[in-house]
C-alpha cells in the first residue's frame, strides 16, 4: 500500500454511499510512507477525520522507522454516512497519504 500516494494535499473527500439515510459504524485505515528519504522531523502534520483530530504531529519517517516504510493507523468505530472527509494540517513540510481503507 505504500508504493504510491499523494503529497501536499489538504483534504480528501470520499463518497461512501450517496443514498445513506443514517450513519454506520466504520473503521478507517490510513497508510503513510515517507517517500522522499527525509529524516525524522522534516515532515510533520496533523490528520483530522470528520473534523476531529486523530493524529497530531504525525511524522511518517519517525513512525515508520525510516523512509520508504509503510505505517498504518486505524481509527474507529466512526459514525460515517454519505462521505468521509480527511483533512491535513501541515506543521513541517507537505503532508503525505498513500492509502485509505474503509471497513
Residues 39 and 10: their CA atoms lie apart, in Å, by 22
Residues 41-91: tens digit of each pLDDT: 999 999 999 999 999 999 999 999 999 999 999 999 999 999 999 999 999
Q: Express each pLDDT in 24-41 by its tens digit.
A: 999 999 999 999 999 999
Q: How confident is the model at residue 3 (pLDDT cuts 50, 70, 90)?
A: low
Residue 8, pLDDT above cutoff 70? yes
pLDDT digit string (tens) for 90-99? 999 999 999 9
Q: Is 28 exposed, middle or buried (0-12, 13-18, 19+ CB in 10 A)?
A: buried
Q: What is the pTM of this model?
A: 0.92
Residue 2, pLDDT score: 60
**Strand ranges, E, within 1-103:** 6-7, 11-15, 24-32, 44-49, 52-58, 71-80, 83-92, 96-97, 99-102
C-alpha cell at 26: 466504520
Q: What are phi and psi of 73, to 5 degrees?
A: -125, 135
Amino acid at each position: 500500500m505504500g508504493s504510491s500516494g499523494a503529497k501536499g494535499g489538504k483534504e480528501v473527500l470520499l463518497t461512501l454511499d450517496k443514498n445513506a439515510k443514517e450513519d454506520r459504524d466504520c473503521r478507517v485505515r490510513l497508510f503513510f510512507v515517507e517517500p522522499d528519504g527525509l529524516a525524522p522531523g522534516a515532515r510533520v502534520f496533523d490528520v483530522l477525520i470528520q473534523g476531529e483530530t486523530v493524529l497530531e504531529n504525525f511524522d511518517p519517517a519517525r513512525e515508520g522507522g525510516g523512509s520508504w516504510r509503510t505505517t498504518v493507523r486505524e481509527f474507529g468505530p466512526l459514525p460515517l454516512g454519505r462521505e468521509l472527509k480527511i483533512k491535513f494540517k501541515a506543521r513541517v513540510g507537505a503532508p503525505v497519504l498513500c492509502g485509505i481503507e474503509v471497513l
